[in-house]
Structure 1
Amino acid sequence: MLSALEVFTTVVVGVMVGVEFSVAFVMNPIFSALPSDCGQLARSHGGRMLGAVMPFWYITSLVLVVVWAIAQWHHGAALVVTAGALLALSVLISVLLLVPINNRSKAWTPENRPADWQQQMDRWDRLHYVRVAVIIAAFALLAAALV
């Protein structure tokens, strides 16, 4: 049963990492290359769509890692606990830094966006790179814990 939990948790976190990596290094660069109205509208739509799903995915990932750490506590869970701490950090980064920007930007249209919308998107991107690095590290630790 523990093996199934370990594999399931690693897959859930790994797919989340893949989505966030894709946003950072594939989708947002594509959106940024579009004319400003199109790129901004695409980012707003992405913010609404992923903004509805990602909170549950992050919390589910963290809960699964906590359950794994508890289940493996007496057999050495340092890697899993560290991965859990990194996922908790990613949730804090999201809630405190990224979500406020996302909540503003998902309602923007070319008619109502603020003058500094591009600077806000650039800040979101920089913070998102940090979050992606944190969750990649967590995923690597979970993968290492499997072996």
Structure 2
Amino acid sequence: MSVLLVVQLVLVGLLAGEEFIVRWGVQPALSSLPDDAHVRTRIALVKRLKVVVPILMIPAVLASVAVLVLVTDQSGLEWRIAGVTAVAVFLGASFLGTVPINMGVNDWDATAPPPDWRRVVTKWERIDVLRSTAAGVAFVLFVIGVVQLLA
């Protein structure tokens, strides 16, 4: 197995894991906090994750496209195409959905959040279900594609 395939699977797996934990671990925990703590924590998370997530997301996306383009063996090609499609859904949900919301949250005043902050959080959560699911599906599809290559 090539180094590119290993690196790509590790990156997409880490991305899927990070997305899973943020959506299904961190977000429910935030919802259980009192409003003021929830808002302060959400602002702090956005400030940190806007740095951490792109550091993982960009190489994962680039490696996924590279695997699709550079792996010439046709075994598992349909799975790799589906994996890149899931990555594209992840990117679309990110850049058209959660990123604009996070940019707004980044500017919130923790002592005086906007009156509609709960509506914003609910919208973010709905979009993030798609985003985190797409990342997980991409990982599974690429794993199946690699298994087909090895078979």
Q: TM-score, normalised by structure 2?
A: 0.89
1:109 correspondence with 2:109: yes
Structure 1 unaligned spans of 5+: none
8 Å CA contact 1:41–1:108 kept in 2: the answer is: no
Q: Deviations over 1:46-94 (max 9, x none)?
A: 1111112223422221110111112223424221122112112211111
Amino acid at match of 1:7: V
Matched-pair contact (CA < 8 Å) for 2:36–2:111:
no
Q: What is the TM-score with the length of structure 1 in the denominator?
A: 0.92
Offset of 1:110 from its aligned partner?
A: 3.1
Q: State the alpha-carbon separation in 1 of the partners of residues 55 and 101 from structure 2.
A: 18
SS state of the match for residue 75, structure 1?
coil
Give the whole-Å Cα distance in 2 for the aligned partners of 1:114 and 1:31.
17
- Alpha-carbon distance in 2 for matches of 1:47, 1:13: 21
Higher relative contact order (CA 8 A, sep 6+): 2
CA contact (8 A) 1:80 1:141 kept: yes
* Structure 2 partner of 1:140: 140
Note if contact 2:83-2:139 (Cα within 8 Å) is conserved in structure 1: yes
Partner of 1:88: 88
- Show CA shifts across 1:10-48 (max 9, x none): 111111111111111111111111111111111111111
Separation in structure 1 between the aligned mates of residue 48 and residue 72 of structure 2, nearest angstrom: 37
User: Are 1:125 and 2:102 an aligned pair?
Assistant: no
Partner residue of 1:7?
Answer: 6
- What residue is the counterpart of 1:67 in the other structure? 66
C-alpha distance in 2, partners of 1:94/1:55? 11
Equivalences, count: 146
- Work out whether residues 9 and 61 of structure 1, in 8 Å CA contact, stay in contact via their aligned partners in 2: yes
Q: Sequence identity of aligned pairs in percent? A: 27
What 5-or-longer segments of structure 2 have no aligned partner?
A: none
Paired residues for 1:28-67 under 5 Å: 28-67=27-66
Q: Deviations over 1:69-125 (max 9, x none)?
A: 122234242211221121122111111111111001122233331100011011101
